Amino acid sequence: MIDDPHKAGSDELQSHLEGEGLNVRDVHGAILREKDDPRDGYEPIPLWLVSAFMALVFWAGAYLSFYSGGFQADVFDPVQVSWAGGGAAVKGPPDPMVVGKRLFTANCVACHQPTGQGVAGQFPPLAGSEWVLAGDWHGDNHLIRILLHGLQGPVQVKGSTYNGAMAPWKQLKDEQIAMILTYIRNEWGNSAPPITAEQVAKVREETAGQTEPYTQTQLQAIPAVKYESAAPPAPEVQTAPGGGDVAPPAPAQPPSATPAAA
Amino acid sequence: MSATLAHPSTVTPEMEKAQRALIDESTRVPVILFYGSAIFWLLIGTLFALLASFKMNAPTFLDQWSWLTFGRVRPAHLNAVAYGWASAAGIGTALWLMARLCRTPLRYSKLLISAAIFWNIGVLLGILGILSGDGRSIEWLEFPNYASFMLFVAFGLIAVWAILMFRFREPGHIYVSQWYLLAAFLWFPWLYSTANILLNFQPIQGGAQGAVNWWYGHNALGLWFTPIGLATAYYLIPKVLGRPIHSYYLSILGFWSLALFYSWNGMHHLIGGPFPAWLISASVVASVMMFIPVITTAINHHMTVRGNFQALKWSPTLRFTVFGAMCYTLASVQGSFMAIPSLNVVTHFTHYTVGHAHLGLYAFFTMIMFGAMYYILPRVVGWEWPSARLIRWHFWLVAIGIGMMVVVLTLGGLLQGLALLDPEITFMASLDYTKPWLFLRSVSGLLLTAGHIVFAVSFTLLLLKTGATRTEPTLFGSDQGRQPEPLNV
Amino acid sequence: MNRMPVIVIGVFLTFFSSWLGLVAYPYFNLGRYTPVVDENTGDINPPPLSGLAERGQQVYASAGCVYCHSQQVRQVGYGSDLERGWGSRPTVARDYMRESPVFLGTMRTGPDLANIGARQPSAMWHHQHLYQPAVVSPGSIMPSYRYLYETRQIEGQRSAEAIDLLPPDNPPEGYEIVPTYEAEALVAYLTSLNRNYPLPEAPEPPQ
């Protein structure tokens, strides 16, 4: 064995190869005609290449500053530049039909059913219900009061009588109640103006003293208020308890004006 | 005879040739073991490719059996050609190149022989595992743990071997091919172990898996196959022509810019996907910056060959290698453009990507590996290729085959992508656009299969040392009496 | 560059930078999510999977569905994913926190499945489609997964889980086709795929 072939002399190599039964000429004709191993030339890097690379580096910097979403870990849309920090996507207002449906499904379907049909004799329907659509003697304010404080005793809905109890839902937030009501007012063929969180907040404030669920009689004693009605506002009638709802302004107002507090 | 820069002046050309003889002799068993395995898996992988392609033309084809369902045959194909063919061919080439360039006979060959055995067992277990339903469905990392562990052991042995060889190299100038090979052997075990641990052995939470997956997937291409392919081209092109590489400085620029930019490309497989915007943008930028190493290398190779393109007429090594090197440029430039989001929105999720993948792994890497085999095998076997006609058939079958495949998948993919972009066009319509192109893809696959069979026959005949003893290399045209033309050195 | 340490250190550092960016950063920022409680509904998002659906993930991996189907809804204005009804919002990393492996996918030979449970909530539809995709979706090149189903004789009454198939795959008289456990698991997983819930980093887009 030769320890270090590149230090071995030519004769030594030759005899070693012959000892191994190899003759360089016979076995490795390929090696004999082979050219030298590759070596490096030293041409300079062309200037146009360097310029092109510099241009690319500039482009890279520009691209990264525009399309990196502020390097936030929770910004997923590259088109959205978010250097202000605090990350997440700009939130638009939630869609009541989407979120309201989620809340309704989470809280209300056990009784009123996903179809809004209720259960005959037990739970009143919401589809086509005058209570929901503020038809007949009903107002938007009644609907909000029911959600906040509940309902008990016999009630008339679409010609049928129901004698159950609806629990209060005042633990839900104003926005949540508003979205649920907007949802049920515009689903299953219903069509009525949306309810806003501010309207819910006002009613909640005024009915803060209410401890028992309402009865139909009690609600009928409270004048109906329709927040987006074009009709002239009804005169205020004060009854106790429960107080009045948001009082419509003096009749001097043009009929088409929305009450200021709505 | 001009002496090379690296050589101590005491070494005469005679001694250098004798050294090469010793070196080739020492590499014989490992090289033939890896090359033989590679060609075996090439045939297996090609068979799976045909099955997968036919199943897209006729979904009822062989659909009774779970182990031949498309979702298993397709990853079996990828893993067989990536780990069975391409990696084994790359390792075989790399170890011969390392021995030659380090100017020292291959030591510790038992490490390599063990590695080859572990390798083949791992690939076999992995393919069988995928077909039987143990596949992980993580692209490029489908092998179940019992198989990937084998591959990792084999990789580890090879990396250790590479470092030892490098340690014992002849001191002096380190040639550009050696940078790439050393880098590849250091990068790949790190890649493979990290990805397998974080995705297969102790999977991390799902939100992060995609990033690790494609960090690995792209780097397997860019930091394992590409360096080996480039190292081979950087050796064979100047070697066969007897000319120096055009510019050492371009080599340096090319190497380091590749090292820096390539590894950040991974997220371009996930543009539009559920990842932070900056991560995607960083990969887009890195992908476009790849113009730097790619153009640099293209200039270096082109200027080295310039004036001698007629050599491609008679040298199989050069023809395959230069074809591959040109397709490297083409595939990489295409890739840089594909990473731009306004183009990616069309090509992502379509067959365009599949065409690109084959342009890279076949038209670039596989063709260079063929070129390397045509050069190296006669030297380790001690016999010239028995038939120039077989080499010629091999070249034209695979060149036309891969050219056709890339073109039909590109066109089909573009039509598919444009249709997908328009919500008025039904999804089924986008699928209908692809069907004729998928049929043509199967046709191109048959051409490739024929080419591989021809090559396997050629290889077998070489190993068996059939035919008359040749004193001249088997060049194109040698069976037709044509002589090689002189070069402009 | 004639010294090995220079090459090794350079090779290590360049690669390490990518490891930091594409492995370490995702692990720390995208790999340690906790679920979020929806302030409006009290839902846990993303919802936990049933045991059967978890098993279904493995069947999905074993069958290789990811090679034709993606599971990601791309950004607003980028591609037509949202317009096709493939989701109500783009998907984000937290949506995949309960999946392993994650099937983001890179091919759309078939449609995206990120919200297939919302588009096709019927388990029977999925069974039929898996058994005879070309009949349920004419023009489809999806292969049949009938190896996930058993054909057996009807004993007494037809089983509750037997699936209805159209010709030419409907079983002969006196036989029924029932899903194996793997098929039930796969369908449980498919029907669980629904990412139409809001997250802090991915609110529902406004109307």
Residue at B271 is within a domain: yes
What lies within 8 Å, CB to CB, of B22 at 6+ separation is A2, A5, A13, A16, A17, B105
To probe the interface with C, which of B48, B54, B56, B70 has the most C CB atoms within 10 Å? B70
Residue range A65-75: mean pLDDT, rounded:
85
Closest CA of chain C from B422, distance in Å: 7
Neighbouring-strand partners of residue A151:
A166, A214
Q: Specify whether the CB–CB gap between B212 and B198 falls below 8 A.
A: yes
A88 part of contact set with chain C, CB < 8 Å: yes
- What is the signed CA dihedral for C49, C54, C56, C58, rounded to 10 degrees? 150
Percent pLDDT > 70 in chain A is 70
State the DSSP H helix or E strand holding residue B310, giving kind and residue range, or none if neither.
none
To probe the interface with A, which of B23, B239, B385 has the most A CB atoms within 10 Å? B239
- Rounded CA-CA distance B400/B405 in Å is 8
- Rounded CA-CA distance B88/B17 in Å is 28
Over residues C51-63, the pLDDT tens digits come to 999 999 999 999 9
What's the confidence (pLDDT) of residue B330?
A: 97
Helix, strand and coil in chain C, % to nearest 5: 40, 10, 55
Residue at B3 is within a domain: no
What's the confidence (pLDDT) of residue B54?
A: 97
- The band of C85, judged by pLDDT with boundaries at 50, 70 and 90, is confident
- The band of B176, judged by pLDDT with boundaries at 50, 70 and 90, is very high
- B contact chains, 3+ CB pairs < 8 A: A, C
Number of domains in chain B: 1
Looking at the partner chain, which of B173, B212, B431 has a beta carbon nearest the beta carbon of C141?
Answer: B431
CATH topology of domain A96-221: Cytochrome Bc1 Complex; Chain D, domain 2 (1.10.760)
Q: Encoding tokens for residue C162?
A: 């037997």
Question: Can you tell me which residue has the tokens 């390599």?
Answer: B112
Looking at the partner chain, which of B71, B134, B210 has a beta carbon nearest the beta carbon of C67?
Answer: B71
| Segment among A113-122, A209-218, B167-176 with least mean pLDDT | B167-176
- The band of C204, judged by pLDDT with boundaries at 50, 70 and 90, is low
**Residue A88 pLDDT > 60:** no
A87 part of contact set with chain C, CB < 8 Å: yes
| Segment among A1-5, A10-14, A107-111, A127-131 with least mean pLDDT | A1-5
Over residues A10-36, the pLDDT tens digits come to 555 556 555 555 555 544 567 777 888
Cis peptide, bond prior to residue C46, ω within 30 of zero: yes
- Would you call C101 and B136 a contact, using CB atoms and an 8 Å cutoff? yes
Over residues A45-54, the pLDDT tens digits come to 999 999 999 9
What's the confidence (pLDDT) of residue A75?
A: 85
Q: Encoding tokens for residue C98?
A: 């309960």
- Would you call A78 and B175 a contact, using CB atoms and an 8 Å cutoff? no
- Would you call A102 and C90 a contact, using CB atoms and an 8 Å cutoff? no
Query: Residues of A with CB below 8 A from B170's CB?
Result: 6
- Rounded CA-CA distance C48/C45 in Å is 8
- Would you call A13 and B291 a contact, using CB atoms and an 8 Å cutoff? no
- The band of A83, judged by pLDDT with boundaries at 50, 70 and 90, is low
Q: Specify whether the CB–CB gap between B236 and C57 falls below 8 A.
A: no
**Residue B243 pLDDT > 80:** yes
**Residue A136 pLDDT > 90:** no
Looking at the partner chain, which of B172, B204, B266 has a beta carbon nearest the beta carbon of C27?
Answer: B204
Domain C39-141+182-192: CATH architecture, name and number where available: Orthogonal Bundle (1.10)
Domain containing residue B415: 17-480
Looking at the partner chain, which of A77, A87, A91 has a beta carbon nearest the beta carbon of C203?
Answer: A91
What's the confidence (pLDDT) of residue C77?
A: 81
CA angle C178/C180/C183 to nearest 5° reads 100
- Rounded CA-CA distance C193/C119 in Å is 9
A85 part of contact set with chain B, CB < 8 Å: no
What's the confidence (pLDDT) of residue A171?
A: 85
Distance of CA A116 to the CA centre of its chain: 24
- Rounded CA-CA distance B399/A175 in Å is 67
Over residues B309-359, the pLDDT tens digits come to 999 999 999 999 999 999 999 999 999 999 999 999 999 999 999 999 999
CA angle A174/A176/A182 to nearest 5° reads 100
Q: Specify whether the CB–CB gap between B312 and B381 falls below 8 A.
A: no
What's the confidence (pLDDT) of residue B489?
A: 61
Over residues B103-112, the pLDDT tens digits come to 888 888 899 9
Neighbouring-strand partners of residue A166:
A151
Query: Residues of B with CB below 8 A from C75's CB?
Result: 272
Nearest CA in chain C to A176: C40
Closest CA of chain B from A28, distance in Å: 6
- Would you call C40 and A103 a contact, using CB atoms and an 8 Å cutoff? yes
Residue at B221 is within a domain: yes
B vs C: CB pairs below 8 A: 240
Looking at the partner chain, which of B137, B166, B172 has a beta carbon nearest the beta carbon of C61?
Answer: B137
What's the confidence (pLDDT) of residue A92?
A: 58
Over residues B414-431, the pLDDT tens digits come to 999 999 999 889 999 999
Nearest CA in chain A to B246: A41
Taking residue C35's Cβ as centre, other Cβ atoms within 10 Å add up to 15
User: What is the rounded average pLDDT for all residues in chain C?
Assistant: 91
- The band of A82, judged by pLDDT with boundaries at 50, 70 and 90, is low
* Long-range contacts formed by B63-66: CB under 8 A, 24+ apart: B63/C143, B63/C144, B63/C146, B64/C146, B64/C147, B65/C147, B66/B133, B66/C63, B66/C147, B66/C148
Task: Give the residue with greater pLDDT, B16 vs A258.
Answer: B16
Over residues B423-478, the pLDDT tens digits come to 889 999 999 999 999 999 999 999 999 999 999 999 999 999 998 888 888 898 88
**Residue A232 pLDDT > 80:** no
What's the confidence (pLDDT) of residue A6?
A: 45
Upper half-sphere CA count for residue B388 (Cβ side, 13 Å): 18
Instruction: Taking each helix axis as running N to C, give the angle between helix B109-132 and helix B145-167, from 0 to 180 degrees, rounded to the nearest 10.
Output: 160
Concatenated DSSP letters for chain A? --S-GGGS-HHHHHHHHHHTT--HHHHTHHHHH--PPP-B-BPPPPHHHHHHHHHHHHHHHHHHHHSSGGG-TT---TTS--TTSS-SPPPPPPPHHHHHHHHHHHHTHHHH-TTS--BTTTB---TT-HHHHT-TT--HHHHHHHHHH-EES-EEETTEEE--EE---TTS-HHHHHHHHHHHTSSTT-------HHHHHHHHHHTTT--S-B-HHHHHHSPP--TT--SPPPPP---TTT---SPPPPTTS-TTSPPTT-
State the DSSP H helix or E strand holding residue B316, giving kind and residue range, or none if neither.
helix B316-338
Query: Residues of B with CB below 8 A from C17's CB?
Result: 260, 263-264
Closest CA of chain B from C48, distance in Å: 13
Nearest CA in chain B to A67: B281
| C21-30, C32-41, C74-83: which is most confident | C21-30
Closest CA of chain C from B284, distance in Å: 13
- Rounded CA-CA distance B94/B356 in Å is 25
What ipTM was reported for this prediction?
Answer: 0.94
Closest CA of chain B from A89, distance in Å: 12
| Segment among A146-160, A229-243, B378-392, C126-140 with least mean pLDDT | A229-243
Alpha helices per DSSP H over B133-171:
145-167
Of the candidates B211, B214, B319, B219, the one whose C-alpha atom is nearest the C-alpha of residue B261 is B219
Residue range B11-36: mean pLDDT, rounded:
87
Query: Residues of C with CB below 8 A from B350's CB?
Result: 107-108
- Would you call B295 and A32 a contact, using CB atoms and an 8 Å cutoff? no
Domain residue extents for chain C = 1-32, 39-141+182-192
User: What is the rounded average pLDDT for all residues in chain B?
Assistant: 93
Taking residue B460's Cβ as centre, other Cβ atoms within 10 Å add up to 13
Residue at B355 is within a domain: yes
- Would you call B20 and A80 a contact, using CB atoms and an 8 Å cutoff? no
Taking residue B4's Cβ as centre, other Cβ atoms within 10 Å add up to 18
Domain residue extents for chain A = 96-221
- Would you call C43 and A106 a contact, using CB atoms and an 8 Å cutoff? yes
User: What is the rounded average pLDDT for all residues in chain A?
Assistant: 77
Tell me the CATH number at B265.
1.20.210.10
Q: Encoding tokens for residue B419?
A: 């249709």
- Would you call B238 and A38 a contact, using CB atoms and an 8 Å cutoff? yes
